[in-house]
Amino acid sequence: MTPETLSGRLLEGTVTVVAGGSSGIGRATVARCAQHGSIVEFFANDATEVELVERELRDAGFDIRGSTVDASDDHQVRQFVDDVYARRGRIDTLVNSVGIQRYGTVVTTSEETWSEVMDVNLKSMFLTAKHVVPIMQRARTGSIINVSSAQAAASQANVVAYTASKGAIVAMTRAMSMDHAPEGIRVNSICPGSVDTPMLRASAAMIDANDPQRVIDEWAAGHPIGRVAEPQEIADVVVFLASSLASFVTGADVRVDGGTLAGVALVAPKDDAR
């Protein structure tokens, strides 16, 4: 256990890259990593949101830099990573939190929508890792955390592209962990349940535009813990996996789902019926 661990600043002196850092889980991750002592470089595709997050956290005294990047564009991702390395001289942690939600079955989902989901949710993580891993290889250390979903293991109806992308993230994470463990690089995925993010609220509004909170409350009731997660609760697990506290953890699929995948819908008798 290091002095940084004892002080409660688990990422002191490190450099963290967060892909998709302007909203939801990604935004909470940028803040949490900074609070734990890390320099944070993040990107997203919305310049206005990037500027807002950067200003807010810089005003709070953190060493933060945001960039506008299309996560599915190899040239833009490579340039971002090169710039971070030139500026900071290292990358200790990569957090992939880019994601979109689209609805449809294999029949109703268009080829364009399928490609859009795969490019944003999966290809983006391939590209960031492709350009960050060589930096970690040279340092012989690093941690990569890919944000997947509970739907990687159990799916709702009508989300075939989203579920396929999230399952592929877990499989890719497992493969990466095997490829790069000998180089000192740990690779893990996180599978959240429902999290109170702008994307979740947009999905709820699609079901009931007049009362989206009613929908969120219904989803909350489906979690044994009785509520949806706050983004910072997912970010706290990211910090753990990035820190020395998780030094023997790689290839893991960490469920942060309020118990959703721990049970089944079948109801058992309340008393011994014998």
Q: Which residues are catalytic?
A: 162
Nearest CA to 133 among 89, 180, 168, 75? Answer: 180
Show the tokens assigned to 4: 């940084």
Nearest CA to 255 among 199, 202, 188? Answer: 188
- Judge contact between 51 and 23, C-beta under 8 A: no
Contacts 24+ apart (CB under 8 A), 167-175: 168/118, 168/122, 169/121, 169/122, 169/125, 170/253, 172/122, 172/125, 172/126, 172/146, 173/144, 173/146, 173/148, 173/251, 173/253, 174/251, 174/253
- Judge contact between 91 and 17, C-beta under 8 A: yes
- Judge contact between 131 and 173, C-beta under 8 A: no
Distance (Å, whole) CA 95 – CA 221: 29
Show the tokens assigned to 211: 């009362």
DSSP 121: I
| Separation in Å, CA 182 to CA 84, 185, 250 | 25, 7, 11
Identity of residue 189: S
Burial of 9 (0-12, 13-18, 19+ CB in 10 A): middle
